[in-house]
Chain A
Amino acid sequence: MARYDRAITVFSPDGHLFQVEYALEAVRKGNAAVGVRGTDIVVLGVEKKSTAKLQDSRSVKKIVNLDNHIALACAGLKADARVLINRARIECQSHRLTVEDPVTVEYITRYIAGLQQKYTQSGGVRPFGLSTLIVGFDPYSGVPSLYQTDPSGTFSAWKANATGRNSNSIREFLEKNYKETSGQETIKLAIRALLEVVESGGKHIEVAVMTKEHGLRQLEEAEIDAIAAEIEAEKEAAEAAKKAPPKEK
């Protein structure tokens, strides 16, 4: 098998593209990211590895704007992310210039996925080592969307998804607990999902919320702490309720 992962354009005998699979490994080692779609809001949450004392935390924002109405979070190689994000931002503006209209979420996701695929079918380059979660509102219909792309260049739309470290556990949690929500409920759901695998507190997660009216808004640490505390309280109340009924008989 070792002979089949040098030049990317080569398949292995059993149909694998090893470089792509190795890229997926890189994603699995990246920090956890979660995205949840509500009826009028979309939420992105990313695990924040503790910032070094001397580091200026403002320069390591992990959730970025692609345009006024589209945001992106990713898991994997951050340097690759920067390149991909720049290309996507240019494409958003280029689209506005040639068709006088903002991109739809699906269009820019297709573009990013197409770019990721191109690098799996060219000589001398390696695939991008990241999966992205792209959220936004359709500029015409106002409908919120959440899409995910991965290093192979496939993409699809999701109601809620996670990528990066422990994404399977987060996805399991979401599958069990997802329901159509709006506003604050959606934010809570996203944070609850992320807290399954991340230490609690505003210091360890970064959350951003996008609404049609206000675009992307990063939540302050204090806000995240407050919501996390609410979630803790609810959890404890649920625990207590489970134990209480037998006594009340």
Chain B
Amino acid sequence: MKLDTTGMESAAPVWGSHNELVDGFSAAPSFELPNTTDFDGFQKEAIQMVKPAKGTTTLAFIFKEGVMVAADSRASMGGYISSQSVKKIIEINPYMLGTMAGGAADCQFWHRNLGIKCRLHELANKRRISVTGASKLLANILYSYRGMGLSVGTMIAGWDETGPGLYYVDNEGGRLKGMRFSVGSGSPYAYGVLDNGYRYDMSVEEAAELARRAIYHATFRDGASGGVASVYYVGPNGWKKLSGDDVGELHYRYYPVMPSTVEQEMAEVTGA
């Protein structure tokens, strides 16, 4: 499938773009083959290259009051923790958030690109783009780069005319609509806590606490997740950052150190 370069085109149209004029349909779809000797193995190689990289925990869920989005902030390169303070929740526009899992550069670039497209849509159509539309734009772009090694596992969360919206979009071009998602190496642990504690009618504080705890538990067990647990809330007036707690501190908040009964006290040896 032809690469979707609409995000990277300059504003001025190419002079005399005849192919559009001559035919309403584009020519029979053909995709550009990657420049390698082993085409069949190419995709497998590309996937292997990026496999360990989705070391992260992100989650999002819809509840009565809106959408709750949370993520950790650790970046790892194999066993090396390269950063404890990565912003994994990307602000696409004042009423839409995207989460980052997979290749940091890929996620950041394509989310910014999506923000551009959303803004252009607003200007052209005098109305905000829906979460459905925004997630579809991103999914179409990622699909056109399928098999070329992009690593993106993202959730698009927002509030539009139809209410709260949440979509999961990944580098395979898949796009799922849902009420609860968690993405990353720590997601199984987060799902455990999230699915257990989830109720549709929670208050904003209850939902924030659930999100925070789910991220904390994931960072506790998953080595590739850690740092700071950020929690964002998306409501009818847009998103708002609720908290950013260091998971180490969260640990002692949830499991404070109890003074234990001492069996034998060590006494100072007099003299010596």
Task: Give me the interface of A with B, judged by CB distance under 8 Å.
Answer: 83, 86-87, 90, 98-101, 104, 106-107, 110, 118-119, 122-123, 125, 140
Contact = CB atoms under 8 A, between A and B. Distances in A.
Contact of B133 (A87, A101, A119, A122): A101
A87 B140 contact: no
Which of A90, A99, A107, A125 counts the most B-chain CB atoms under 10 A from its CB?
Answer: A99
B187 to A, nearest CB: 26
Nearest to A9: B16
Nearest to A95: B133
B32 interface: no
A118 B140 contact: no
B242 to A, nearest CB: 30
Interface string B42-53: 000000000000
Interface stretch (B64-72, B124-132, B148-156, B231-239): B124-132
A86 B25 CA distance: 10
Contacts of A119: 21
A140 B161 contact: yes
B133 A99 contact: yes
Main secondary structure, interface of B, reads helix
Contact of A99 (B18, B20, B21, B136): B136
B196 to A, nearest CB: 33
Contacts of B132: 99-101
A90 B24 contact: yes
Contacts of A99: 129-130, 132-133, 136-137
Contact of B16 (A86, A87, A123): A123
Interface in B165-216: none
A86 B133 contact: no
Contacts of A87: 24
Interface string B5-36: 00000000000101011001100000000000
Contacts of A98: 133, 136-137, 140
A16 B24 CA distance: 29
A122 B136 contact: no
A122 B24 contact: no
Interface in B110-135: 124-127, 129-130, 132-133
Interface string B143-163: 000000000000000000100
10 contacts: A87-B24, A98-B140, A99-B137, A100-B130, A100-B132, A100-B136, A106-B125, A110-B124, A118-B20, A122-B21
Given A98-B133, A99-B136, 6 more contacts: A87-B24, A90-B25, A101-B133, A119-B21, A122-B18, A123-B16
B175 to A, nearest CB: 10
B126 to A, nearest CB: 8
Contacts of A90: 24-25
A226 to B, nearest CB: 41
